[in-house]
Structures are given as C-alpha cells and as structure tokens.
Structure 1
Amino acid sequence: MAHPVMYDDADPHFQRVSTLALALPQAQMKVSHGRPAFFTQKVFAYYGASVKVEGADVDVLAQDARALNVTLSGC
C-alpha cells in the first residue's frame, strides 16, 4: 500500500527548502513514506515531521491551528 502524500508542492516553506537542497551538487529529491527526502548518495534531509501523541493531548492538538500538519495517533 502506498503512503499518502504528506506535503504540498505549493507550500512556500517546502519550496524554499527544496530550492536550497537541490542547489547542492548532485542533489536529488525522492518521496519516501509520503515525505520529500533530499539525497546525493545518502539522504541528507527530510521535509516534514510527525509527532506521536496519545491521550488527552490529542484533543488539545486537534483544536490548535498550528497542529494541522501533526500526525495524531489514537484519534
């Protein structure tokens, strides 16, 4: 089963990171587990992150607009 895409090409932060990472010699990008991975011979950067949250904090984060890109477990 393929992983869902966990980033937006139009995100200005992604565009900036991508521009900087791909400016390095021989750098390329591939999508790994739904997230961009920048590499030459080895991965040197991933774009995005996930946070494992359990219990009451899930409800608090679900209401926080800053947590839209947080992967919530136990929802």
Structure 2
Amino acid sequence: MELIFQRERRASARDSREANDKTWSRPGKIDRAAVLEDLDVGLSVMKVAAKHGIGRATVFRIKAEAKEA
C-alpha cells in the first residue's frame, strides 16, 4: 500500500515540476568569462549572482580561480 502512495507522490512532484518549467537535470554550465566581465565592469557580487542565477559563493570561487590563474 505504501508503494502506491510513494508512486502517487512522485507523480505529483513530477507533474508540479513540469508545470513550473523546472527539470530534474543538472544546471547548465556557468559562463565564467561573463561572470568575470560583469565583476570587472563594477557590478557587485550579489548582482552578478542574481544575473547569472548562481550563488554568491560560486561568484567568489570563480573570482578566486581567476586570480590564481
């Protein structure tokens, strides 16, 4: 009986994600050059993160990797 309920919950979650145009796959690759370009222009880390749909930590990580290279 519990298996039936689990299947129903999974089907409901799948339908909800499809209705909201979301996928189950991994997010796409980040355009690191565009992130660095936006930082060079003078945009804040928060604005860059929001613009590219990534987290602040990711922006800081990209920035640190660019300094190392």
Task: Select the structure that is richer in strand.
Answer: 1
Which of these two proteins has the greater Rg computed from alpha carbons? 2
Range class of TM-score, shorter chain: under 0.3
